[in-house]
Amino acid sequence: MSRSAHPAGPRHGDVLPEGHFTAPPADLNALDPRVWAQSVERGGEGAVAVGGLDVRALAEEFGTPAYVMDEGDFRARCRAWRDAFGPDADVFYAGKAFLSRAVVRWLHEEGLNLDVCSGGELATALAAGMPPERIALHGNNKSTEEIARAIEAGVGRIVLDSFQEIARVAHVARGLGRRQPVQIRVTVGVEAHTHEFIATAHEDQKFGLALAGGQAAEAVRRVLGLESLELTGIHSHIGSQIFDMAGFEVSARRVVGLLTEVRDEHGVELPEIDLGGGLGIAYTPEDDPREPHEIAKALGDIVTRECEAAGLAVPRLSVEPGRAIVGPTAFTLYEVGTLKELEGLRTYVSVDGGMSDNIRTALYDAEYTVALVSRSSEAEPMLSRVVGKHCESGDIVVRDAFLPADLAPGDLLAVPATGAYCRSMASNYNHALRPPVVAVRDGQAREIVRRETEEDLLRLDVG
């Protein structure tokens, strides 16, 4: 995550507030296309529109807070990934970033595959008609029931994450009279340059089987010895919100190294490798993500080069972007409720959501930007912190932001780049009702996930 202290510093107050901040942007009304969904624009009257629809009308119809998703942008990103990787590779969208039936249909229509990592995600994928052979099941502790449902449904791939799971999946497949295609998830020892909690390929964490020390090679031996498992390849996922391709290159090299060892030891050439997801997006204009075609070229080149050097046929490649597809396609629309100016520090702007609809700021120190979207303003920039309505002082949506000084209750704010890991990580803290996801496309808006109601909450409360 980028963190830059801008030399110009804040404009308001003599005492510098603690923490990090950037200088006010030259134009508070500008919407930087790096962080906003494709169809977002500020209209003539100053209000922002998405998919041709004014946010004030969306707030009126669907209420706030709401996640507003640009369906055209989602589909365009799917196509960009699919086209970049071409017919000799597979793009699996990581469903945990955000999953709903509509999203599954879009993926299906745009030719993507789907990663799921729980029974609930699998159920959603199947309910929306994703062909099972295009689904991969992940997870470091899949239950026997989840494994059985996946095998019965006929999922194309189960990614094995532990020795117990190898035995468990083999046992269930045997019981069902199936031979299940599987990959083995390995940890390649790369420290991805990202937040510790979302870096997953260094050795001291829960995912995968380590290449170092021979766990991964032992897993290959065991899987090859089991009739009910068909080992199709090796899987590596090195983390999330990564900008630097170097980690993927090391990962690709080490995975191909294992394929070479497997060929030498067993005389088997595994036909697939999966290099995972984790490609970063711009949360702020300072973030500089790679485009899908750059990623495809970098990964394709390294895999081809390493395989040629080892005398291996180039395996079929797959990748698993989640955030890079859905993240930039949505913003969260909030209404301002109260403002509190702390002299010499900043103004606290409270909105009608918070950590229940976006936990990433509290969980990962994630950075976001925010804009006034119900109107434009020529007022001076005001150093602000956008906070939620929950009973925690850590309930922060945007830690450091500049908003116009004439901001008032009733104004609408939007936080861009909230398509990934916001609705999917949303909670009912303080019995908040989780916001809807509103998809917009060509002047039409519809809820693809509706707002929760108090009846929804009370339905589970059976005491």
Ligand X SMILES: *Cc1c(COP(=O)(O)O)cnc(C)c1O
- Applying CB under 6 A, which residues contact ligand X? 94, 96-97, 115, 138, 237, 240, 276-279, 320-324, 420
Between the two ends of the chain, the Cα-to-Cα distance in Å is 44
Residue whose CB is less far from ligand X, 96 or 399: 96
Residue whose CB is less far from ligand X, 51 or 289: 289
In whole angstroms, the minimum distance from the beta carbon of 44 to ligand X comes to 36
Residue whose CB is less far from ligand X, 99 or 349: 99
Q: Give the integer Cα–Cα distance in Å for 313 and 316.
A: 9
In this structure, the strands spanning 113-116 and 371-372 are unpaired
Cis peptide before 131 (omega within 30 of 0): no
In whole angstroms, the minimum distance from the beta carbon of 459 to ligand X comes to 30
In whole angstroms, the minimum distance from the beta carbon of 274 to ligand X comes to 8
Residue whose CB is less far from ligand X, 159 or 259: 159
Residue whose CB is less far from ligand X, 250 or 279: 279
In whole angstroms, the minimum distance from the beta carbon of 207 to ligand X comes to 7
Phi-psi label, residue 278: left if phi above 0, alpha if psi -120 to 50, beta otherwise = left
Q: Give the integer Cα–Cα distance in Å for 315 and 317.
A: 6
Contact residues for 403 (Cβ-Cβ < 8 A; gap 6+): 28, 347, 349, 370, 372, 381, 382, 384, 386, 413
In whole angstroms, the minimum distance from the beta carbon of 428 to ligand X comes to 23
Encoded tokens for 189: 């020892």
In whole angstroms, the minimum distance from the beta carbon of 220 to ligand X comes to 19
Nearest by Cα to 108 from 134, 70, 88: 134
- Residues across the chain: 463
Q: Give the integer Cα–Cα distance in Å for 87 and 84.
A: 9
Q: Give the integer Cα–Cα distance in Å for 351 and 414.
A: 10
Query: Is the distance from CB of 72 to CB of 38 less than 8 angstroms?
Result: yes
DSSP state of 353: -
Q: Give the integer Cα–Cα distance in Å for 161 and 446.
A: 39
Residue whose CB is less far from ligand X, 149 or 360: 360
In whole angstroms, the minimum distance from the beta carbon of 322 to ligand X comes to 3
For the question of residue 117 being annotated catalytic, the response is no
Residue whose CB is less far from ligand X, 12 or 423: 423
Query: Is the distance from CB of 440 to CB of 68 less than 8 angstroms?
Result: yes
Residue whose CB is less far from ligand X, 185 or 389: 185
CB atoms within 10 A of CB 410: 9
What are the beta bridge partners of residue 318?
90, 274
Encoded tokens for 401: 């932001």
Which of 117, 307, 391, 422 is flagged as catalytic?
391
In whole angstroms, the minimum distance from the beta carbon of 161 to ligand X comes to 9
How far CA 84 is from CA of 200, 294, 295, 401, in Å, comes to: 25, 8, 8, 35
Name the residue with tokens 């339905």: 459
Q: Report the residue closest to ligand X, judged by CB.
A: 322
Query: Is the distance from CB of 180 to CB of 230 less than 8 angstroms?
Result: yes
What are the beta bridge partners of residue 41?
49
Residues with active-site annotation: 391
